Structure 1
Amino acid sequence: MNSHRVHDYITDILACSGGTFVFKGMGLLKTSRVCTANPLDIHHILSKNFNNYPRGDTFRQIFDVLGDGFSNTDGEVWEFHHNTIMSLLKSPSFQTLLEDTIWDKVEKGLMPVLEYVYKQEVEVDLQDIFQRFAFDTISKLLFDSDPKSLSLDLPSVPCEKALSEIEEAIMKSYAWKTVDQFIYKSLAEKQKEFISEVNSKTQEDKFSTAFLKSYQGQSGSCGDPNKFLRDTLLNLVVAGRDTNSSALSWLFYLLSRHPMVEDKILEELHTQLNMKKCGNLKDLQAIDLQKLVYLHGALCEALRLFPRVPFQVKTPSQPDILPSGRRVDHNTTVILSFYSMGRMKSI
């Protein structure tokens, strides 16, 4: 009865039960589930006693398309991913590359498309626009190649389309094959380029090059270095495409329903940009983003109300007692409701 509003329904129950509730399996189904939006419980599971709460085999089976990627592994493999990827993302060269890549796509992809839509007075799906924007950006970063899915004719790019289909139904086999074809082809081209650079000792300062260098000789639990790279790249593509596009889609959805907030954002932009002197996008790029306090607040509100990952599932490997007093063991599935956390008045 509440499947059409499942997250709000769970939030209502959590609000009535102090932030944590238990429902137990009947008959032969002896597993019980604990659903929580209690900040202390969630901190305990995701930080304080993190090693006791792996994703587990069931999670890996459901999301087997992600293979040995960072969002689908535990233990040593996850540790390696975490340390390696965080090190790459924190490097100053990556931050510079990220800014350059995003602004290049804004100037050559996003703005021309939006201007065309505006002048032609045609209706478009903004979520599709933002997914294309994010897909082109993450592809450029990882493979040093721009698929140009965000163009005036909004071309059909098989991999970009297949990523949405994979998420709609985990799993459609042909969608999986389409994504693999894109990644393996891009990976082969980058590996060939990487080997050439190593032999000539003239490696360029690219994220894709640094990535391949960091993962050289690693094969994960599958024992296949190429498959391990494929899994990692797919996880990064999904993370890079979906987090940004989802956040932007919800932000603009909320702005369409709250024109007063939109007016305040525009007022802040005009004040900080000094529009009389603003000739082009480069002037917008040069602005100190820390000055856009209201815009930052609106984006944070959109993320609070519609988090990209609304919930996460964990299963303890050893019996444990949560700060809320709930006992859990290896037969207990723990559901962390981030969506509910953002809507609990008590929090």
Structure 2
Amino acid sequence: MALSDAIWASMEYSQIIMAVICFFFLHRLSLSSGLPWNWPLVGMLPMMFLNFHRIYDKFTDILEMTNGVWFTDTDMLITADSANVQHIMSANVSNYPKGPESKKIFDVFGDVLFNSDHDEWKHHRKMSHSIFNDRRFHHFTPVINRGVLEKGLIPILEQVSKEGLEVDLQDIFERFMLDATCLMLTGYDPGSLRNGFPNVPFSRAMDDATEAIFVRHILPEKLWKLQKWLGIGQEKKMTRARETLDDIAADYIRKKQEQLRVSKDDDQEVFNTLRCFLTEDEAVGSTKHPYNVMRDTIIGLTFAGRDTVSVALAWFFWLLSENPLVESKIREELETNLSQNEASKCRFFFDIEELNKLVYLRGALCETLRLFAPIPFQIRTTAKTDTLPSGHRIKAKTKIVLCTYAVGRMKSIWGEDCLEFKPERWVSEKGGIVIEPSNKFLAFSSGPRICPGKELAFIRMKAVVAAIMHNYNIQVVKSHPVLPPTSIVLRLSMALKVKITKRGD
């Protein structure tokens, strides 16, 4: 019996040793090509878990060596090739919808513009264009921006600078954009920038939802659905988040319906997109109940407005802290475009004509979005068999991951200095802004699905940056780590701790 046990133990040790040898052999083999090993059944999941803390940088390193890499055999292709992006997002866009799996993963957002396909997408697109082209929208956008700056952001910055506090600048930007976006969508101010930084259920719920969505992209559908059924893990957070978001949206809709029953004068009411979805004409073409359309619009567009711009602003000020020369040039541009009397005074508000003159500032914002695109990847599903410009043969129902983060960091696209923060690459010799094709600059998506709120985003970012940089100095706390997260939104995972001081003090 003892001999038998010894033999079995010896065999078990031999198997372990052979497994270790095989692992290191395969690991060395993968290193020889520079590409990760695509294991049977699990594909690149081991590589993902080992590099989870820097997953976007890891895929950038991989895609720098190849124009596309298969993930788990042949069911998913990851690419950052600009020709592939052009083919998928523009030239052959009808063959690359988001697909039914995307709706399952992003179900918390319902059927909003960025989560729909085909006729449903065309309907939402039509409505979004009617909103952004409305004269009232253009009239009230600067009014709302100024109102949130005057009543929310500026008082907070004044208080923090006087008391010498360290604050999370990313949190401040998220609160600012939540208030501004809700005002534009619904006409109501959540007041998240009030003294004491009150708890904001919407923000907490949205953060939990986006974390769960990221995990859904990694785990097999059966596994995350099992977690949902059992009420455990990230799916437990997702369920609670959805309930919170549903309650908030229902409250906004109820208040707006009550207000519309009292007020019939369109021109006397601040324009908001929710009104558009309450009219009979705009409901035509939608297959959903008007209430569900409004619910999805509030949640989806508030997410888009809050997270994308706030993330870009946070990374912008972090990049300035690492590039003081760029900061100096932006201040010079601000002073050049102000009169001599105004250049030395406190001034918090700039009109659109003044903001449009800030070309170098726009270049710095574009450079921020290139390096830290708020949405680091996009997924499409192939409807029919196709061949990409890179030569990859794509079967029907194949997932294509467009790594936006990597597209902005490719030497083949942006040159050897692609990792440098250089706003100059966006300024032409004549002093105008350089317009790069969207298959290279993917921060606002590309092709027919390009973000309709792109210019609104730039106006808001410029207004915030001009107000802050003309009046305050922002000093990033160097001892505080700044890292990108593992999420569908490229927020700074450890916040952005800063000290704010009044200029001239």
- The reply to whether residue 5 of structure 1 matches residue 48 of structure 2 is no
Are the counterparts in 2 of residues 134 and 240 from structure 1 also a CA contact under 8 Å?
Answer: yes
TM-score with structure 1 setting the length: 0.91
- Equivalent residue for 1:103? 146
Q: Indicate the structure whose relative CO is greater, using CA pairs within 8 Å and at least 6 residues apart.
A: 1
The separation in 1 between residues aligned to 2:59 and 2:183, in whole angstroms, is: 39
- Equivalent residue for 1:264? 329
The separation in 2 between residues aligned to 1:23 and 1:169, in whole angstroms, is: 21
Are the counterparts in 2 of residues 218 and 228 from structure 1 also a CA contact under 8 Å?
Answer: no
1:263 shift after superposition: 1.7
The separation in 2 between residues aligned to 1:84 and 1:228, in whole angstroms, is: 11
Are the counterparts in 2 of residues 107 and 281 from structure 1 also a CA contact under 8 Å?
Answer: no
1:345 shift after superposition: 1.1
- Equivalent residue for 1:245? 310
- The reply to whether residue 14 of structure 1 matches residue 63 of structure 2 is yes
The separation in 1 between residues aligned to 2:352 and 2:376, in whole angstroms, is: 34
- The alignment partner of 2:379 has SS state of strand
Q: Which runs of 5+ in 2 are unaligned?
A: 1-49, 214-234, 414-505
- The alignment partner of 1:34 has SS state of strand
The separation in 2 between residues aligned to 1:215 and 1:327, in whole angstroms, is: 44
- The alignment partner of 1:281 has SS state of coil
TM-score with structure 2 setting the length: 0.63
Distance 1:339 1:38, change over 3 A: same
The separation in 2 between residues aligned to 1:232 and 1:54, in whole angstroms, is: 20
Larger of the two Rg values belongs to structure: 2
- The reply to whether residue 228 of structure 1 matches residue 293 of structure 2 is yes
Letter in 1 for 2:54: R
Number of residues of Structure 1 aligned to a counterpart in Structure 2: 339
Letter in 2 for 1:140: L
Distance 1:282 1:258, change over 3 A: closer
Letter in 2 for 1:108: K
Please say which of residues 79-88 and 31-40 is displaced more in the overlay: 31-40
1:176 is matched with which residue: 232, 236, 242? 242
Please say which of residues 78-87 and 279-288 is displaced more in the overlay: 279-288
- The reply to whether residue 59 of structure 1 matches residue 102 of structure 2 is yes
1:74 is matched with which residue: 111, 117, 127? 117
1:296 is matched with which residue: 353, 358, 362? 362
The separation in 2 between residues aligned to 1:54 and 1:201, in whole angstroms, is: 37
- Equivalent residue for 2:376? 310
- Equivalent residue for 1:116? 159
Distance 1:3 1:234, change over 3 A: same
Letter in 2 for 1:61: K
1:228 shift after superposition: 2.2
Distance 1:86 1:286, change over 3 A: closer
- Equivalent residue for 2:487? none
The separation in 2 between residues aligned to 1:47 and 1:78, in whole angstroms, is: 15
Matches within 5 A, 1:175-214: 175-198=241-264, 204=269, 206-208=271-273, 209-213=275-279
- The alignment partner of 2:342 has SS state of coil
- The alignment partner of 1:313 has SS state of strand
The separation in 2 between residues aligned to 1:104 and 1:94, in whole angstroms, is: 15
Letter in 2 for 1:96: H
Distance 1:224 1:92, change over 3 A: closer
- Equivalent residue for 1:137? 180
Matches within 5 A, 1:267-346: 267-274=332-339, 276-277=341-342, 279-281=345-347, 284-285=350-351, 288-346=354-412
Distance 1:153 1:102, change over 3 A: same
Are the counterparts in 1 of residues 205 and 244 from structure 2 also a CA contact under 8 Å?
Answer: yes
- Equivalent residue for 1:28? none
Aligned-residue Cα RMSD (Å) equals 2.2
